[in-house]
């Protein structure tokens, strides 16, 4: 098939799932108690930084992920900023992450004053490669006093931030095992992977801390929002303290014991999140059905539909395919977008952005290869599907 023919039948198939008109990559669906809970907030006058919905939403996330503690924040970037601080990252530390990620990962690293180090991803998971990590550390790191030091820069390699790209679980157990050998803290950027599992363990429960995002384009949304999850009670307490201006609890006195942040999630946003969580299992089921349509469509072609590794479960937040070449990828982008079906290339590598071009990297062979070939397909939960399932 030519790209033109593939494009035409792909557009037809997408329209069969998502209907007519412009088809975005991912839009939220509000078909549960969203309106009711928002009205309840307004009626109760608790719309801002105080209110019961924040605690309720945190409990939803803890129960769903199996994390002991969940701390809501104003967005995922803020969650990651604080999580890095909690992992011990201080100015001029180095933090290993992927060049193949969304900018928020590296922005948070920069807010924490850290120098990103870019290590390659695996071609199958699109996530941080434990092999590449081991290789880079063997070449550059030495362990002293239980910490990893970069032999060439003299800096402490304090943390590692792997990211579960598009909700496809990366080899997180292997990454954690390598980091443990070097005394490097793992902070999982699980912004895209709510509803993704390794065996029966949720992504984000392998590192010391992890962060989630509830931006409008994520699996579920609170309008804007994020979450820190951890099993460590002391870290959880500090996460709450730091994200709520570091105020010492008191009925009327205002005393703060360190520089904190106003990173708390407003009650209104949490109310939306509570309603979305009630629908999450159903939304995940429907997203898996949408993914199955794409998988079948590309089966037997030389286009690879990105599926999770055996033994892992993806949330299919954004469905992704790998084309044979950059030219093919560009031709399909052009065809679909000019037919009002939104598709998107993967992010420009962080190592190729002006702010991070000077950062250390390991050559990034797979990242560069994927950067030229990956394309995202429309992946929303189709509204009509809810209708069908309700019937």
Ligand X SMILES: *Cc1c(COP(=O)(O)O)cnc(C)c1O
Contact between 34 and 275 under an 8 Å Cβ cutoff? The reply is: yes
The residue within the footprint of ligand X, chosen from 7, 28, 51, 76 (CB under 6 A), is: 76
Burial of 145 (0-12, 13-18, 19+ CB in 10 A): exposed
The residue within the footprint of ligand X, chosen from 65, 85, 97, 105 (CB under 6 A), is: 105
Beta strands 319-322; 312-313: pairing state: unpaired
**Whole-number Å distance between alpha carbons of 52 and 268:** 10
CA-CA-CA-CA dihedral for 207, 212, 218, 219, to nearest 10 = 70
Calculate the CA 229 to chain-centre distance: 13
Contact between 363 and 120 under an 8 Å Cβ cutoff? The reply is: yes
Calculate the CA 252 to chain-centre distance: 38
Place of tokens 């939104």: 342
Query: Whose Cβ is closer to ligand X: residue 6's or residue 230's?
Result: 230
CA-CA-CA-CA dihedral for 229, 234, 240, 246, to nearest 10 = -150
Region near ligand X per CB under 6 A, out of 101-109, 231-239, 300-308, 381-389 = 101-109
CB of 236 to ligand X, least distance (A): 20
Binding string, 23-52, against ligand X, x = CB under 6 A? ------------------------------
Please confirm, yes or no, whether 218 is among the known catalytic residues.
yes
For ligand X, the nearest residue by Cβ is 76
Contact between 222 and 30 under an 8 Å Cβ cutoff? The reply is: no
CB of 210 to ligand X, least distance (A): 11
CB of 344 to ligand X, least distance (A): 13
Query: Whose Cβ is closer to ligand X: residue 117's or residue 141's?
Result: 117
Catalytic pick among 35, 68, 218, 247: 218
The residue within the footprint of ligand X, chosen from 192, 362, 371, 385 (CB under 6 A), is: 192
Could you tell me the CA-to-CA distances from 109 to 7, 321, 359 in Å, in that order? Answer: 39, 29, 12
Binding string, 201-220, against ligand X, x = CB under 6 A? ------------x-x-----
Residue 224 is given by DSSP the state: S
Contact between 304 and 322 under an 8 Å Cβ cutoff? The reply is: yes
Query: Whose Cβ is closer to ligand X: residue 165's or residue 343's?
Result: 165
CB of 6 to ligand X, least distance (A): 28
- Can residue 367 be called a binding residue for ligand X (CB under 6 A)? no
What is the total count of residues that contact ligand X (CB under 6 A)?
Answer: 14
- Can residue 194 be called a binding residue for ligand X (CB under 6 A)? no
Query: Whose Cβ is closer to ligand X: residue 150's or residue 221's?
Result: 221
The residue within the footprint of ligand X, chosen from 51, 116, 127, 226 (CB under 6 A), is: 226
CB of 163 to ligand X, least distance (A): 5
CB of 164 to ligand X, least distance (A): 8
Place of tokens 């790998």: 322
- Can residue 315 be called a binding residue for ligand X (CB under 6 A)? no
Binding string, 142-171, against ligand X, x = CB under 6 A? ---------------------x--------
Region near ligand X per CB under 6 A, out of 115-123, 132-140, 144-152, 186-194 = 186-194
Query: Whose Cβ is closer to ligand X: residue 105's or residue 380's?
Result: 105
- Can residue 77 be called a binding residue for ligand X (CB under 6 A)? yes
- Helices (H) then strands (E): counts for the chain: 12, 16
CB of 112 to ligand X, least distance (A): 14
Candidates 156, 288, 145, 274; CA nearest to 220 is: 274
Quick one: which H or E segment has residue 167? none
**Whole-number Å distance between alpha carbons of 25 and 13:** 15
Beta strands 94-98; 115-119: pairing state: parallel
**Whole-number Å distance between alpha carbons of 81 and 78:** 5
Q: Count how many Cα atoms sit within 13 Å of the Cα of residue 387 in the half-sphere of its side chain.
A: 3
CB of 297 to ligand X, least distance (A): 25
Residues that bind ligand X in the complex, under the rule CB under 6 A: 75-77, 101-102, 104-105, 163, 189, 191-192, 213, 215, 226
By annotation, the residues acting in catalysis are 218
């Amino acid at each position: 098939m030519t790209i033109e023919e593939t494009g035409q039948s792909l557009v037809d198939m997408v329209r069969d799932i998502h209907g007519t008109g412009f088809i975005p990559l991912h839009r939220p669906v509000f078909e549960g108690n969203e309106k009711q809970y928002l009205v309840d907030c307004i009626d109760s006058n608790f719309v801002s930084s105080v209110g019961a919905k924040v605690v309720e939403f945190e409990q939803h996330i803890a129960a769903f992920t199996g994390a002991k503690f969940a701390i809501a924040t104003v967005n995922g970037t803020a969650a990651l900023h604080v999580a890095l601080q909690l992992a011990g990252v201080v100015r001029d530390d180095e933090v290993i992450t992927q060049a193949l990620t969304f900018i928020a990962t590296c922005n948070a690293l920069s807010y924490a004053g850290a120098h990103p180090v870019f290590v390659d991803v695996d071609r199958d998971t699109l996530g941080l490669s434990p092999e590449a990590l081991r290789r880079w550390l063997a070449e550059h790191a030495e362990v002293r006093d239980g910490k990893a030091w970069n032999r060439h820069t003299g800096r402490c390699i304090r943390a590692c931030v792997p990211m579960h790209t598009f909700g496809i679980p990366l080899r997180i157990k292997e990454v954690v095992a390598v980091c443990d050998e070097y005394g490097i803290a793992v902070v999982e950027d699980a912004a895209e992977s709510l509803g993704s599992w390794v065996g029966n363990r949720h992504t984000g429960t392998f590192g010391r801390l992890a962060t989630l995002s509830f931006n409008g384009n994520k699996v579920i949304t609170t309008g804007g929002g994020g979450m820190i999850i951890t099993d460590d009670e002391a870290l959880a307490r500090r996460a709450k303290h730091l994200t709520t201006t570091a105020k010492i609890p008191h009925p009327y006195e205002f005393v703060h014991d360190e520089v904190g942040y106003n990173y708390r999630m407003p009650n209104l946003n949490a109310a939306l999140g509570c309603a979305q969580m009630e629908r999450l299992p159903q939304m995940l089921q429907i997203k898996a059905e949408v993914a199955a349509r794409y998988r079948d469509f590309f089966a037997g072609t030389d286009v690879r539909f990105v599926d999770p590794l055996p033994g892992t479960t993806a949330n299919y937040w954004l469905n992704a395919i790998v084309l044979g070449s950059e030219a093919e990828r560009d031709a399909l982008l052009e065809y679909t977008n000019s037919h009002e079906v939104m598709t998107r290339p993967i992010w420009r590598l962080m190592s190729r952005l002006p702010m991070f071009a000077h950062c250390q990297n390991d050559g990034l062979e797979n990242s560069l290869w994927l950067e030229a070939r990956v394309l995202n397909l429309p992946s929303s939960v189709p509204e009509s599907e809810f209708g069908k399932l309700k019937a």
